[in-house]
Copies of this chain bind each other. A is one copy, B any other.
Amino acid sequence: MNRQNSNSIMEEMKDNGHSGRSMFLESISVEVPAARYYYALQGPELEVLKETEEFLLPLDKKWPFLLRFPNACFGMCIGLASQSSLWKALATTPSVAFLHIPPQINLVLWSIAVCTLIIVFSIYLLKSWYHWEAVKREFCHPVRVNFFFAPWVACLTLAVAVPPIVAKSVHPSVWCIFMAPLFGLELKIYGQWLFGGEKRLSKVGNPCTHLSVVGNFVGSLLAARLGWMEVAKFFWAVGLAHYLVLFVTLYQRLPTSETLPKELHPVFFLFIAAPATASWAWETIFGEFDTVSRISYSIALFLYASLVVRFNFFRGFRFSISWWAYTYPMTSASIATIRYSQQVTHPVTQGLAVLLSVIATTTVSSLFVATLLHAFVWKTLFPNDMAIAITTKQVSKHKNYDHHLNNKSKGIIRNSLDLMRTTVKAHQARLLHSKEPPVYPDIHQSPAEQEHQQGDNSPACLDSIYNL
């Protein structure tokens, strides 16, 4: 059916006449360069379109649901899975046994997390099916690409957090199934850092990149649980090497990463995730919270402290689904503290474990409520996803090259618009053809209220998508 999709695009192209062939080629090779995202977008997660930018899709109406469903939703899965893991640790670690946490909480949270993961995964599969172009664009987006690691991290975390009632441990094949795509992605992404011209780390590095490193430690942790110590050490080492590079790169704040938001953001919490998980993984491998674990944990704790004192920086932001990713660091820090308190049982460590667990759980609960409210009450959880709507080429500066702009960039935009329009057309044609009910009803919510603004640079012609 994906073939069919391409075919219908091709037919569409032929209908368009002379420019069909070249446009199809362009649609194959269209890879938005990383710098383009930085140029066209702003905001903490590069999700706000700059005013000077042209757009592929109309901004004044809601897009199809699948196009508005970002892969950042997998952050929610990680958050819930790690929360379940935290309550397993609270229920089973002797040093916090005085809390008398029932193991059922772990079970309930785990079930919720599994359900959420299945739902999100299914929806995203549908998106990949129907809007492969949008998925590709997320893969090119410097922030979003890291969320492709998220489903596998969530799966691995769920495997770690599996309630003892459900299973004593997972089967080794589970590890293999979850690690295979993660390892493949690593080879791809780390290779881009190393070899890629455009996607070098000094350009694309941002706190979300931590998501691409943390998987190594979670995988290492699960491997150690399964008794695959050599494999566990391998992934721990790989994680260490890349965390090192990333930590230094992000701490330096290279001049090329100028585009990091001035408005600070929970995104920085991701700094904590890798060292916290690393300390836990190391303990699981060597059976003791030894010096390496302690060093790793101390770094996590210091970073936590240096974030908490900047409390003011983390307020006053619009809620977004990707906030969920920031719950994982908090939770992993809590778990590491619980493990540490098991090694060094002392009121201070125990108190810290409880405190951090309370903070993590409160945060997750608040986010959960907020997410439900945004999703079902205010229906604002999925705004238009600007990250996938930028044009492939940069618009020239207005001031100096007004005439040039009018002549040149118009053509580019038209091409891009045509491309996206034909994609959507093809999709709708397929929908009509297969007689299946439309997946996203809101596409027909406002069928004929478009105003055709036939200005030169306006993307008004896109409205015809809806008028088709």
Chain A residues packing against B (C-beta within 8 Å): 186-187, 190-191, 193-195, 197, 200-203, 205, 230, 233-238, 240-241, 244-245, 247-256, 262, 264, 268, 271, 291, 294-299, 301-302, 305-306, 309-310, 313, 344
Q: Which of B233, B268, B295 contacts A295 (CB 8 A)?
A: B233
Contact (Cβ within 8 A) B233 A195: no
Contacts of A262 in B (CB 8 A): 197
Residues A241 and B202 in contact in the complex (CB < 8 Å), given A248-B249, A249-B252, A252-B254: no
Contact (Cβ within 8 A) B298 A233: yes
Contacts of A186 in B (CB 8 A): 306
Contact (Cβ within 8 A) B255 A255: yes
Contact (Cβ within 8 A) A247 B254: no
The dominant DSSP class at the A interface is helix
Chain B residue with the shortest CB-CB distance to A275: B241
Contact (Cβ within 8 A) B195 A313: yes
Contact (Cβ within 8 A) B238 A245: no
Contact (Cβ within 8 A) B252 A201: yes
CA distance A298 to B233 in the complex (A): 8
Chain B residue with the shortest CB-CB distance to A295: B237
CA distance A202 to B202 in the complex (A): 12
CA distance A310 to B235 in the complex (A): 20
CA distance A295 to B216 in the complex (A): 13
Chain B residue with the shortest CB-CB distance to A199: B253
Contact (Cβ within 8 A) A238 B201: no
Contact (Cβ within 8 A) B195 A241: no
Contact (Cβ within 8 A) A251 B245: yes
Copies in the complex: 3
Contacts of A291 in B (CB 8 A): 233
Contacts of A244 in B (CB 8 A): 244, 247-248
CA distance A197 to B258 in the complex (A): 8
Contacts of A203 in B (CB 8 A): 255
User: Which among A193, A238, A247, A298 has the highest number of chain B CB atoms within 10 Å?
Assistant: A298
CA distance A134 to B305 in the complex (A): 30
| 7 chain-A/chain-B pairs, Cβ below 8 angstroms | A191-B310, A194-B268, A194-B271, A234-B301, A237-B297, A237-B298, A244-B244
CA distance A247 to B313 in the complex (A): 28
CA distance A453 to B290 in the complex (A): 70
Contact (Cβ within 8 A) B237 A241: no
Contacts of A253 in B (CB 8 A): 193-194, 200-202
Contacts of A301 in B (CB 8 A): 234
A454: min CB distance to chain B, Å = 40
CA distance A302 to B191 in the complex (A): 11
CA distance A186 to B303 in the complex (A): 11
A174: min CB distance to chain B, Å = 20
User: Which among A253, A262, A344 has the highest number of chain B CB atoms within 10 Å?
Assistant: A253
Contact (Cβ within 8 A) B194 A238: no
Contact (Cβ within 8 A) B245 A252: yes
Contacts of A201 in B (CB 8 A): 251-253
A202: min CB distance to chain B, Å = 5
User: What are the 10 A-B residue pairs with the smallest beta carbon separation, nearest first?
Assistant: A237-B298, A200-B253, A237-B295, A234-B298, A245-B251, A202-B252, A238-B302, A241-B299, A255-B256, A201-B252
A80: min CB distance to chain B, Å = 28
Chain B residue with the shortest CB-CB distance to A200: B253
User: Which among A241, A254, A299, A309 has the highest number of chain B CB atoms within 10 Å?
Assistant: A241
A149: min CB distance to chain B, Å = 16
Contacts of A271 in B (CB 8 A): 194
A258: min CB distance to chain B, Å = 9
Residues A299 and B344 in contact in the complex (CB < 8 Å), given A201-B253, A253-B202, A309-B187: no
Chain B residue with the shortest CB-CB distance to A194: B251
Contact (Cβ within 8 A) A268 B195: yes
A15: min CB distance to chain B, Å = 36
A95: min CB distance to chain B, Å = 14
Contact (Cβ within 8 A) B299 A187: no
Contact (Cβ within 8 A) A190 B245: no
Q: Which of B237, B250, B254, B344 contacts A254 (CB 8 A)?
A: B254
Chain B residue with the shortest CB-CB distance to A340: B230
Contact (Cβ within 8 A) B236 A295: yes
A131: min CB distance to chain B, Å = 28
CA distance A203 to B244 in the complex (A): 20
CA distance A357 to B112 in the complex (A): 49
Contact (Cβ within 8 A) B202 A255: yes
